[in-house]
Amino acid sequence: MRDIRPFHLAFPVHDLGAARAFYGGVMGCPEGRSSDSWIDFDLFGHQIVAHLDPGAKPVAVENAVDGHDVPVPHFGVVLTMPDWEALAERVAAAGVAFGIAPHIRFKDQVGEQATMFFRDPSGNALEFKAFADDSMLFAT
How do residues 85-128 score in pLDDT, each as one tens digit? 999 999 999 999 999 999 998 888 888 899 999 999 999 999 99
Q: At 75, which helix (H) or strand (E)?
A: none
Q: At 82, which helix (H) or strand (E)?
A: helix 81-93
- Residue pair 48/23 in contact (Cβ under 8 Å)? The answer is yes
Residue 100 CB neighbour total at 10 angstroms = 19
Q: How far apart, in whole angstroms, are the C-alpha atoms of residue 60 and residue 79?
A: 26
pTM of the model as a whole: 0.91
**pLDDT tens sequence across 5-23:** 999 999 999 999 999 999 9
- Residue pair 79/102 in contact (Cβ under 8 Å)? The answer is no
**pLDDT tens sequence across 20-76:** 999 999 999 999 999 999 999 999 999 999 999 999 887 778 888 878 888 899 999
Q: Parallel, antiparallel, or unpaired for β 8-13 and 46-52? A: parallel
- Residue pair 94/124 in contact (Cβ under 8 Å)? The answer is no
Residues in the chain: 140
**What pLDDT is stored for residue 1 in this prediction?**
53
| Domains of the chain, earliest start first | 8-52 (3.30.720), 62-136 (3.10.180.10)
Q: At 44, which helix (H) or strand (E)?
A: none
**pLDDT tens sequence across 67-79:** 888 889 999 999 9
Q: What are phi and psi of 33, to 5 degrees?
A: -70, 160
DSSP letter for 20, please.
I
